[in-house]
Structure formats: structure tokens, C-alpha cells
């Protein structure tokens, strides 16, 4: 590429600004991050490559919770088609206005995403403590 030097000094690395990570990106789970950021094409690719639709970051997030809280019905449907549990809940591990645990249904309701709430309820989703 024009303008790039074959050599890079440590000073040049420090002077290059890195893209900012959007707030509230949980852990290091690519599927959750793609769902949270609304990247349906990436969600599909990750699932096609074997990503677990029910993966989670301990005490925080699942792909379906992430897409439900963002109101992304397209991603919610992709995850459901891949076998995501519509009632999978996780403990929050922090003081959360929605309670001590989160589910796709609770996050869609809390954020006013009526189409997602309807879809989840059609499939029998429930907001219940983890493990029940």
C-alpha cells in the first residue's frame, strides 16, 4: 500500500489510534458481540462455522439476550432457527433494574421491543430463574 513503510517503530504503533470498542460489549464471545452489534451476516457465518447459539458470558449475556435487547428480530429468528433456547436465563451478577437475572423476554420487554416480545411469546418463552 502506498505510504506504508516496511518498517514500523514502536513509536509509530503508539501513535496509531485504535478503533474504540462500543460500550457494553460483553467478554470475548464473537457470536454475542455480533448479535449485540446487529451484524446478522456475521451471526449466520459464525453459526455456520459451529458457534453455539446458547453460548454465554458468565453472569451477563447470551446471543439471544443480546439481540432481544437491541430489538433485532432478524437476528432473534436466525438464532432461534439455530436452536437457541428462548427461555435461557443468566444471572446478572450486578444490580440490574430487570432483576437478578436476564432472559431474552425480559430484555425485549424492558427495552420496548414489542415485535421481539410477541415472537418469543409465540414460542413459549418465559422469564424464570436460571436452572428452572
Q: Which helix (H) or strand (E) holds 91?
A: strand 90-91
Q: What is the pLDDT of residue 56?
A: 81
Contact between 67 and 36 (Cβ < 8 Å) = yes
| pLDDT tens-digit readout, 59-102 | 668 999 999 999 999 999 999 999 999 999 888 766 655 567 88
Residue 9 in this model has a pLDDT that exceeds 70: no
Residue 40 in this model has a pLDDT that exceeds 60: yes
Q: What is the mean pLDDT of residues 48-56?
A: 91
Distance in angstroms (rounded) separating the CA atoms of residues 91 and 103: 9
Q: What is the pLDDT of residue 27?
A: 56
Which of 12-16, 31-35, 79-83 is predicted with the least confidence, judged by mean pLDDT?
12-16
pTM: 0.74
Distance in angstroms (rounded) separating the CA atoms of residues 3 and 65: 44
Q: Which domains are assigned to the chain?
A: 26-122 (1.25.40.20)
Amino acid at each position: 500500500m502506498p505510504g506504508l513503510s516496511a518498517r514500523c517503530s514502536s513509536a509509530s504503533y503508539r501513535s496509531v489510534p485504535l478503533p474504540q470498542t462500543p460500550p457494553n460489549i460483553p467478554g470475548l464471545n464473537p457470536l454475542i458481540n455480533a448479535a449485540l452489534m446487529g451484524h446478522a451476516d456475521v451471526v449466520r457465518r459464525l453459526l455456520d462455522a459451529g458457534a453455539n447459539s446458547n453460548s454465554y458470558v458468565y453472569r451477563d449475556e447470551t446471543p439471544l439476550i443480546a439481540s432481544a435487547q437491541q430489538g433485532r428480530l432478524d437476528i432473534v429468528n436466525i438464532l432461534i432457527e439455530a436452536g437457541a433456547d428462548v427461555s435461557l436465563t443468566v444471572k446478572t451478577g450486578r444490580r440490574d433494574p430487570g432483576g437478578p437475572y436476564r432472559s431474552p423476554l425480559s430484555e425485549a420487554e424492558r427495552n420496548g421491543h414489542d415485535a421481539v416480545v410477541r415472537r418469543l411469546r409465540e414460542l413459549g418463552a418465559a422469564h424464570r430463574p436460571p436452572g428452572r
